[in-house]
Structure formats: structure tokens, C-alpha cells
A and B are shown apart, each in its own frame.
Chain A
Amino acid sequence: MSANILLEAPLPPQAVKRRVVAYLGFGLLLVVVVLAFLGPLFATHDPTQANALEALQPPGARHWLGTNSYGGDIFSRVVSAARLDLFIGFASVASAFVIAAPLGTAVGYSRAWWASVTMRAMDFIQSFPVFILAMAIVSVRGPGTFNVILVIALLNVPIFVRLIRAEVLSLRERAFVDAARAVGNSGFRLVTRHIMPNALGPSIAQASANIGWALLLTAGLSFVGAGIRPPTPEWGTMIAEGAQNMITGEWWISLFPGLALGTAVLGFALAGDALRALLDVRARTV
């Protein structure tokens, strides 16, 4: 009966507002993702090409977002960078999730000594200032896409492990687990079939926001030279390329990559909020 009521009752104004914001989030994301995939089709110029004659042009007809100090077209580069940045974002968070899901479930379900040792290790990783740890590891391993993904994945694992562990801790005492056990499900099946799928909910909502943070972290690392190296188009390196030019008034070089980055992060954050609200309602009617 209660489920019907939820469907029939008119939405209070706050919920409507939330809906609009959710659509905005998903909409922004869609734009960014489409640009990332199809962007190169729209690109007006070769993103890696230099053309000294056309250096430092403000936005105009030929170069929609202007050119940088060696003549590279900003628009094409921004669109091309979207692909790399989104790839890094997804890959790092997905890898972290794949590692954290079984690890978090195991740590939450088991009462053995190694579970608390693992959590201490998670605490330890999280006790370093995030950016500094990332910088240090990349400096030692060297720049490049793979190492950036590695570092960001490492930083995300404790976050997911914590969330999943918390869910598993509360799930393992629930009635349906006892029921499943009574029917004859053994430990491993019990955990993978019944507990893990139900524990992943909050983490999935969190993952969206984490992809946004991964984008910011990638850009930051690249900005200080500890991430993606130029001339590969990446939003962070592009902002770095234009840093000196801010003092001389060529604002477009750093502005547009930053706008693109912020828009993508905002989209992921809003989508994450919407996912969380969606999963919350679902959880409440169960």
C-alpha cells in the first residue's frame, strides 16, 4: 500500500526542484560525453598541430575559441582533451570500484584480524593530503596516462571500501541473510549473490562525484607537470599553457579548458546527487 501512495501523491515543490537539477546534471554530462566521443568529428583543426603564424589569436571566425602560444586551435584541443580526461576519470574510478567491491565486502563480512589491518591501511592512505600524495607517487613513477589512472584509482579505493564495508556491516545482520543461509547458501555464494549486490548502492552514487574529483585531480597534476605531458591535449596542461598569458591579457587560452572542466565536474556532481536521491527512495520503500 505504501508504494502506491508514493506513486500517486503529488510531488512537493522541493522534489520538483530536485528533478530539474537532476535533469540539468544529466544534460550537462550528456553534452560533455557526446563532445568527447564525437568531438574529433566536430574539431575544426588538428588538435596537435602547431602553426606559429596563427599564434595567440583571440576567439574569432577561423578559430572559434582562439589559439594558444604556438598556434594550436583551442576549440579542437578542448574537445580532444575531453576524450582523454573522461577516459582517465572513468578508468580510474572504475578500477578503484572493481578492486574495492570485493575488498570492501570481504572486510565488512569477515571478523578476522586482517580486516582491521586493512582498514588501518585505508586510514593511512587517507591521512595524506590527497594532492600531495598523488604528486609524490606520479613523480616517482613518471608522468603519463597509465600512472595518473593508477594514482587516482589508489586514492579512490579507500573511499569505496569504507562505503561498501559500512553497507555490508549492516546487511550481514539482516533477516534476509539468515533466510538465505537457512536455505543452504554457503559463505561465498551468500556473499556474492546476496550481500554484495545490495551493498553497492551508495558507492555507485558516490562514484559519479568521484569521477568529477578525478577530473580535477588529473588537471591539477598536469598543471604542475606531474600528470599528462604536453603537447597531448588535456584540460590541465592547457590551463598551464595559458597561465603566463593571463598576465599579458590573452585570457582565452586558459579560460575555455577550465570552463569545460568545471562543466564536466558539475555535471558529474549533479548526476551523483540525483542518483543518490533515487537510490534513497528505492531503499526506503524496501
Chain B
Amino acid sequence: MLNWLSIDVVLLVITIWLGIGVAGVIALRQFGFVARVLFPLGGMCCLALAWAALQMIGSTPEIAVLPLGLPQLPFHLRLDSLAAFFLLVIGAVGAGISIFAAGYFRKGAGTPPGLLCLEYHVFLASMVLVILADDAYAFMVAWETMALSSFFLVTANHKLPEVQEAGFLYLLIAHVGAIGILLCFGVLQANSGDYTFANMRIQSLSPFWASTAFILALFGFGAKAGMLPLHVWLPEAHPAAPSPVSALMSGIMLKTAIYGLLRISFDLLHVDVWWWGGLLLALGLATALFGVVFATVQTDMKRLLAYSSIENIGLLLAGIGLALIFHAYNMSALTALALTAVLYHVVSHAFFKSLLFLGTGAVLHATGERNLGRLGGLIRYMPWVAWLMLIGVFASSGLPPFSGFVSEWLLLQSFLFTPGLPDSFLNMFIPIVAAVIALIAALAGYAMVKFFGVIFLGQPREEKLKEAHDAGLWEKIGMLWLAAWCIALGLFPNFLIHLIDSVTVSLVGVGFGRHATESSWLFLAPWSIKRASFAPLLFLLGVTIGCLVAFALVRILYHGRLRRSPPWDCGHPWQTARMQDTAEGFGQPIRQVFEPFFRMRRHLPTPMDRDPSYKVEVSDHFWYGLYLPISRLIEFLAALVGRLQQGRISIYLLYSFLTLLFMLFLVQR
């Protein structure tokens, strides 16, 4: 084995991916080859990427310059701990998704498999390049490639009108966001004309320009992450895309925006103003609350997950906001703790959300249904998918001892122990924020119980569901990989926290993990066991022993007799599957409690109706209050501009003539 640098391995992986993509185009319609050879090969590359990134975390940054692109403007690449950490996420999660995708894509309508294969691997490669990029030029090229390739993936079924609309909306917001990022880089280089990140690091901006750059970055990356009010594309694009693509987008692509925000606010910008953190905290909380409340009332399973992604992004943003506040007041230990919570949640969300999206893909294949109101009882026909999804559901609701809980726990700890911020308003608001985060987590539990219960439990709401088949082997392996990490990250958090430690050391100079975990490998204790501790393994052991002892005692002392009979249901004489709560019914309490959040249109039956029907449509205030007015305004302006177009050549010539005169006038002055 040659003594390769990690960055070389990463570049090799990118090259192989591009090669796989090209091979896919050559074997455009050879389904078996594309699915069974190329996708698993891509998955192996993901593993190699994860391995290289793992080796890299904590060592000195590696730099490479690729002579690509324009003359005088090569691609600068740099692999430091932060980048390696995100590459690790891409690799580890991407491996599971690629394996799943090997079994997922079917013959049939839409884009041919070879083309999908190309788009998929270009998408992966561009995400890696976004994270490696060390100058604005390479970053923007990779960022746009990422947006375009994912756009084509979203519109894989481009014959359907709603998919076209979703794709258009996605592309539009992605580009509006990209403008923000571009302008942000423009501010960051501070008139030096050198667009490398190395140059941006040494520039010192005035607070005004630093704040401008931060706001622009927040806008640009917020648009990609789905921050309020730029979230509208997310619940449209995620359901439209094929499930592995939704998993990639929700699990990984959203995280590139988090990466960008971290890179700019902690690495490139040196000015620290506390209100950046405050703004981010407020926006994050609003996003999270909005996302989770909307998730509970959705009736489409992939939309529900999309809103849940918005919620998680909100939590991440809130965590970054908190870290920024601490950073501004030079409280480095607390900054490190908050950042650790954020990075842990990045990993855990990537795993569980991909798992859940893949699961919906399996359900979609087995039943052809995305509407929760037509599903139900699938745990009996698809036990593998159901039990694996249950793990994802638990991790997603933040229940111990799964991965979601660890990040929630760390986040709450960093909110709770804020001894004496100098600002008394902040000091009082931050514990309130902790309470709101607890509320959001509990609501996420509600949404997830609804999600799992309506799809997998109860009786099938349609006859055809009884023919549903379980996922295939490839799909099972992919989901199993992700589910195993959801459990492992929940049970052994210290391993990952050690890794994150190197990242926070490189960002803010302090890590809390070494100190937090050195007391015992079993306990997670940020300060000391006396102050706060959590031992997931002991926790699980306690519950399991409780269960097993109870089970054994009941069997030994009493008996294990069991009789099967029709359900009792309080003695009701007959019951059908339609009498269970629908998705609308299960969300109804939340709809009532959080009524001002929604724009609702109800259709209620009158007592005279022969076929009474009830319909409720829940939509987003932002769409009607913000986006439609903007689009009308743009149409109006466009119409004004359109008046210029007269159709007569002499008038166009007049325009040119007047422009020429005006220019000459300017020159003359």
C-alpha cells in the first residue's frame, strides 16, 4: 500500500464515482448491471471515503491544488478536521443509501437507470467537493453542480406535473440562495481580489461588513437548509424525489448548508457579535417549532418526514446560534459543548432521517401509496421494514437510548449551564429556549408516533395492502446498516464525541470531550458525574433487566397461557379498518392547539348530506403571505419591462441609438 494522504483517497473516490457515472451512461438501459454492480461499487467508495475521513480527523490539514477550470483559477482544496467530519457523515450514510438504491430503482417509467446512476454519483461527488473546496470559485462550482444534479434527480419522474412544479421551485430557491453565498464571498475577500479561503481567513472586516457577510451567508445557506421562511421547497421536493434521493438530500445535502454556516461563522469570520447568535437562535427555534407542528398534521408520509427535517435543521441552527453567543462572550468550554451537540445531531439526523426515507421508499414500492390514509397494518406484511423503521422512529423522537436522545441531551445541557452570560436579557431567555426545545422534542415524538402508528400498526385500510411484500435483500442491508448506527451512536456516544473533540479544538481551540469522557467509557458527563451524567448502556441494561425479570417471574410463578380472539373494543358489535384514526384524525388535537400556525380550509358536511364527506386542507401562511405576493410583484415588473418589446425593428434600433447617445454623454463627462 502506498503511503497516501487522505485527501488523495478522497480525490480517488470522486474520480471513481465520476467513472461509475460515465459507465452508467454507456450502459444506459442495462438495468441489472447498473443496479447490481455500479451502485454497490459506489457504496464501497462511500466506505473508503468514510475510512479516509476517519484517519484524517485530528491531524494537520491537507491541501491540494487541482489545475481545473479557468486559467489562473485552479481549484484549491483543503481537508481539515471539520471537513473530514462532514466527509465521514457523507461516507457512512451514503454507503447505506447506495446499497439500498441497488435494490430500489426499478425498471419502468421515468429517467433510464443509467442516467439516474450518473446523476446520483455526480450528486455525491459534488457534495464531497463542496466540503473540500478551499476557494470561492471551487465552492460555487461544486455548489451549483450539487443543486443541478439534485434537481435532475428530483425530477426523475418528470412526466408528472407536480414533480415539475416541485423541481422548478427547488431550482429557483437554490439559485436565489446561491446568489446570497456568492455575494457573501464577495464581501469576505475584502477587495483583495483573492478568492481563496486562506486569504479570507487573514482579512479583518469591520463589524458592519462582517455582519453583512454573515447575513448573506445565513440567507444563502438557510435557503439550502430549509430555514424559515425559505423552507417552502423542502416539503415539495422531498416527496417528489425517489426515496434514496430524498434520503441523500435530507440526510446529507441539508448538512452541507450547516457545514457552510459553520465554516463561515467560525473559520472565515473573526468578528464576533452576539446578536448573530441571537438571530440564529430565534430563527432556528421558529423553524423547528414550525416544522414539527406542520409535521404532525401531514397526511403524506414523505411530506411528514420533510417537515421533520425542517424541524431538525431548526434545532441545528439554534445550537449553532447558542455556540455563536458563547463564542462572542469568549466562553470557549460552553461553545465547545454546544458545537458538540450540533455536530452530534448532524450525524444522528443523517442516519435516522435517511433510514426513515428509505423505509418510506420500501413502503411505496410494496403498496404504491404515499398517502397515510390508505396505509396501515403493514407490520404484519413487512416486518423487517417495520422493525427497522421503529428504530429510526425512536431515534427521531429523541428517546433514550437511541442516537437522537444523545444530541438532545447535549443540547439541553449546553442550554442549562449558562452561568452568568453578561447580558441579563440573554441570561433569562436561554433557559426558556431550553424549555421550548423540550416542547419541540415532545412534539417530534407525537409526529413520529403518528407516522409509525398509522403506516405500520392497526388494520390495513385498503384491501390491496394485504399483498404487500417485505423489502428485498439489498434494501434490507442498506436499512440495517443505518439502523445499526442509530443504535450504536445511542449506546456508545463517547466514541463519536472523541472525534468531534478534534473538530471543536480546530474551530474554537477547546474541546470538552476528552475531559467529559475520561472518567469512564460508560458515562457521558460534560463536567462531572455529580453534575450531570448519562450512561446509555446502563440505561438499556436497567430496562432490559426489568423486562426480563418480570417476564421470567411471570412465567415461573404463574403461567404463559394465551388465547387469541377478536378484539373487544369495549363491546362494540362490529368494527372496520375505517374506524381507526386517520392521519387527519390523529393530527387533529395539534391542529386545534396550534391553529394560528395553519391556514386551513375545511369542508364540513351538512346534516342533510346523503354522502357526507369531510375534508380539511392545511397549508402554509408563508406561501400565501410571502411567496405569492413576491411572485405577483415580479410578474408585474416583468410586464412593465415587457412593454419595451414592441416588435418593430425601428423601435429596437431607437433603443440602441438612445443607449449609444447616453454612453457617449457619460464618456464625454
A associates with B: no
Q: Which residues of B contact A (CB under 8 A)?
A: none
